[in-house]
Amino acid sequence: MQLIVTDKQTIAEDTVSVRLEAVSGPLQAVAPGAHVTLEVNGLTRRYTLTRGHNAGDPYEIQVLRARDSHGGSQWIHDDLAVGDALEGLGVANDFPLSAVPAPSVFIAGGIGITPFLSMAEAVAAAGRAFEVHHVVRSTARQVPIPSFILPHLTTYAGVRPDFAKLLGHVDRDSQLYVCGPVEMMAVVRAEAHRQGFASNQFHAETFGAGPAATDQPLEVHLALSGTSFVVPPGRPLLDALLEQGAWLGYECRRGQCGSCMAEVLEGEPIHRDSIDPALRPGAMCTCVSWARGPRLVLNL
């Protein structure tokens, strides 16, 4: 799917929007919450579509410049220009709206607001109640919010919301949607669980599940195959395992499907996946997660 950049605008501090159109034929319309996978300067990156939900719409993505990125967002900010072609590797929706006709609570961290712009439009059109909570580093980072959302929006600029209070106020049958850094997702999930929300009321999509600057190299031991090797920080553990001839499944490679789980025999994982922790007792998703280190023993 060849895409052409037909517009690029700075919409907030360190944030650009990029409009994409097909070289030939109309683009496939997508449901709210869907993302497009793009080849960006040799890297594969996924971006939520903020437009493209009606037949004939162009696609639009909003991209924050990530300071510690491997170059995907930097390249979009600094090098990508109107008229450039991009290879689209597909569209998919890992973050669909629930069909349950209950109030929706959207909790966004930073650029994690993007899926909620179209999801809020869909629930508003269906006549369902909704509220949007947006945590931003500063108001300068706030992307433009459509006016129909404003009466339902609470912004937390430079402050961390009291999630216990926030969730304490919402309807008990609400559908909760969280999009933002993995740490925020984990805090909200734990609080929702504590307050008695069922796991099928909780929906999450995360980003920044990538490496952290504080990650240390890992000395990985594979108990079944008896091999050991060192993995430098920043390298997906899954890739290192496959390269070392350790077989495990993989599908989404973003911590959402649980295919690449490995049982941890020794070591302390730093979980960066977004699946329910009850589904991975004693195990970790090797595509996105890391460990305190230095030693990590996996049952592979």
Partner 1 sequence: MSANPFHPGELMIQRLAGEEAMAEMNGHNISPRIPAAARAFVGKQDLVALGTEDDDTRLWATLVTGSAGFASVSEDLADVRVDLDHPNGVLALAPSLKHLHASEPIAMLFIELTTRRRLRVNGALTAVAGSALAVHVVQAYPACPKYIQRRQVANQVALETPIMACGTAVTVPLISLLENTDTLFITTAGVDGLLDVSHRGGRRGFAEFTDGKIMIPDFAGNSMFNTLGNLAMDERAGLCIPDFERSCQWLLTGRGVGRLEVPDAPEKTGGTRRWIEFVPATWALLPLNVSRTWKFVDSSPFNP
Q: Which of residues 272-291 bind partner 1 (CB under 8 A)?
A: 278-281
**CA atoms of 276 and 278, how far apart (whole Å):** 5
**Of the two residues 75 and 250, which places its CB atom closer to partner 1 in the complex?**
250
Plot region of 296 (φ>0 → left; ψ -120 to 50 → alpha; else → beta): beta
> How near is the Cβ of 251 to partner 1 at its closest, in Å?
5
Question: Per CB under 8 A, does 23 bind partner 1?
Answer: no
Q: Stretches 55-63, 90-98, 106-114, 213-221: which one binds partner 1 (CB under 8 A)?
A: 90-98
Give residue 278's Cα distance to chain centre.
Answer: 20
From 90, 144, 158, 168, residue interacting with partner 1 (rule: CB under 8 A)? 90
> How near is the Cβ of 91 to partner 1 at its closest, in Å?
5
From 122, 129, 257, 265, residue interacting with partner 1 (rule: CB under 8 A)? 257
Question: Per CB under 8 A, does 89 bind partner 1?
Answer: yes
Closest to 151 (Cα-Cα) out of 179, 126, 132, 176: 132
**Of the two residues 173 and 251, which places its CB atom closer to partner 1 in the complex?**
251
Please check whether residue 205 is in contact with residue 274, taking contact to mean a CB–CB distance below 8 angstroms. yes
Strand partners, 261: 285
**Of the two residues 22 and 187, which places its CB atom closer to partner 1 in the complex?**
22
Query: 10: burial class by Cβ within 10 Å (0-12, 13-18, 19+)?
Result: exposed
- For residue 58 the two structure tokens come to 């162009």
From 139, 154, 225, 228, residue interacting with partner 1 (rule: CB under 8 A)? 225
Question: Per CB under 8 A, does 42 bind partner 1?
Answer: no
From 119, 184, 261, 264, residue interacting with partner 1 (rule: CB under 8 A)? 261
Question: Per CB under 8 A, does 241 bind partner 1?
Answer: yes
**Of the two residues 135 and 285, which places its CB atom closer to partner 1 in the complex?**
285
**CA atoms of 260 and 297, how far apart (whole Å):** 15
- Give the helix/strand (H/E) hosting 187: helix 182-194
Question: Per CB under 8 A, does 246 bind partner 1?
Answer: yes
> How near is the Cβ of 16 to partner 1 at its closest, in Å?
25
**CA atoms of 284 and 277, how far apart (whole Å):** 9
- For residue 233 the two structure tokens come to 């920080």
Q: Stretches 88-96, 100-108, 115-123, 148-156: which one binds partner 1 (CB under 8 A)?
A: 88-96
**Of the two residues 159 and 278, which places its CB atom closer to partner 1 in the complex?**
278
Q: Max Cα separation, the chain?
A: 59
From 259, 292, 293, 295, residue interacting with partner 1 (rule: CB under 8 A)? 259
**CA atoms of 46 and 44, how far apart (whole Å):** 7
**Of the two residues 105 and 252, which places its CB atom closer to partner 1 in the complex?**
252
- For residue 156 the two structure tokens come to 């937390």
| Number of residues located near partner 1, criterion CB under 8 A | 37
Report the number of secondary-structure helices (H) and strands (E) in the chain: 5, 18
The site for partner 1 (CB under 8 A) is made up of: 1, 30, 34, 37, 88-94, 224-225, 241-252, 257-259, 261-263, 278-281, 299-300
